Amino acid sequence: MLIAGTRESATVNAILVVIKMAALALFIAVALPVFDSSHFQPFMPFGFPKSGPSGSEVGVMAAAAIIFFAFYGFDAIATAAEEAKDPSRDLAIGIVGSMVVCVAIYMVVAAAAIGAVAYTGFADSAEPLALILREIGQPWAARVLGASAVIALPTVILAFFYGQSRIFFTVARDGLLPSSLARVSSRGTPVRITIFTAVVTSVFAGLIPLTSIAALANAGTLAAFVAVCAAMLVLRQREPNRERRFKTPLPWLVGIAGILGCLYLFYSLPTRTQLFFFIAQAIGVVLYFIYGHGAAARARAQKTA
């Protein structure tokens, strides 16, 4: 779908999102009638900060550091800036608007789930929402939800592939990947880099457990968000008069809060994930100085020639 074109893939994605929203609405409608507030006691049974031995971290922040995986799609919107008709308007509405709506949906679904069945009854399930529906005597709703989840799963994959392929496209255009990958087709889509992204992600998906991928991807994304916040503050000092189509309000408050918040989430990740992240960064730095630094310099020289 991404190779076919952004407009075509967006249309299919919109249909799948409607299916997903309908399934979540069904879950809420079926679960709320059996809501039991006593399931919320004790509140935060494992406490707020990360606790527990390495490999078995628990607590609100330990969970938040993993569920952060669900917030990747919002930064993917920013990668579409070059393809937006009115970036200053469309990006602001797309990022902030979708985040507000999704956070509200996440909270309502979570509250309905815990209210229907105590968290101990579904915490270890691979399909918690469907399990809850079966537990409250609604197997038909569980089947509908399961089928909807399978059908709508491509919405998540589509958003990730879109964002990552555009990031790789920019990296290739800057010379850090072979520049031949940064070519677009006659339809205006980066076919080569999309296929490259599919191959790379398929290898990781086939060899590494999903939980490990999610945790390590969270670490990398949090580091990227810290870099974005820091870069925004640096640019405000270095180029205060630069035109900003999408201007961050209260930059020093937002930037510093963003950096501290991401660092706290990173600290809340499993210790093993943090170790793997630093090893991966060290390998990346070595590869950059072996290949990337010279390749980027050659790309810049070709652009100025």
| Token digits of residue 17 | 């999102």
Q: Is residue 167 part of a domain?
A: no
Q: Is residue 238 part of a domain?
A: no
Which pLDDT belongs to residue 83? 65
Q: Is residue 31 part of a domain?
A: yes
Cα end-to-end span (Å), the chain: 36
| Token digits of residue 28 | 């809420």
**CA 229 – CA 237 distance, rounded (Å):** 13
- Walking along the chain (305 residues) 10 residues at a time, the average pLDDT comes out as 68 79 91 92 90 86 88 70 72 83 91 92 87 91 87 75 80 76 74 86 86 84 92 91 81 94 93 90 85 70 65
Give 187's DSSP letter.
Answer: T
Q: Is residue 58 part of a domain?
A: yes
Domain containing residue 37 = 1-162+188-207
Cα torsion at 122, 127, 133, 138 (round to 10°)? -140
**Residues shown for the chain:** 305
CATH number for the domain harbouring residue 143: 1.20.1740.10
Q: Is residue 199 part of a domain?
A: yes
Handedness of CA 296, 302, 303, 305 (dihedral sign): positive
Q: How many domains does the chain have?
A: 1
254 burial level (CB within 10 Å; 0-12, 13-18, 19+): middle
Residue 41, by phi and psi: left (phi above 0), alpha (psi -120 to 50) or beta? Answer: beta
Which pLDDT belongs to residue 6? 61
Which pLDDT belongs to residue 304? 64
Cut 0.95: pTM above it: no
Q: Is residue 73 part of a domain?
A: yes
247 burial level (CB within 10 Å; 0-12, 13-18, 19+): exposed
Which among 271, 225, 262 has a CA at the least distance from the CA of 50?
Answer: 271
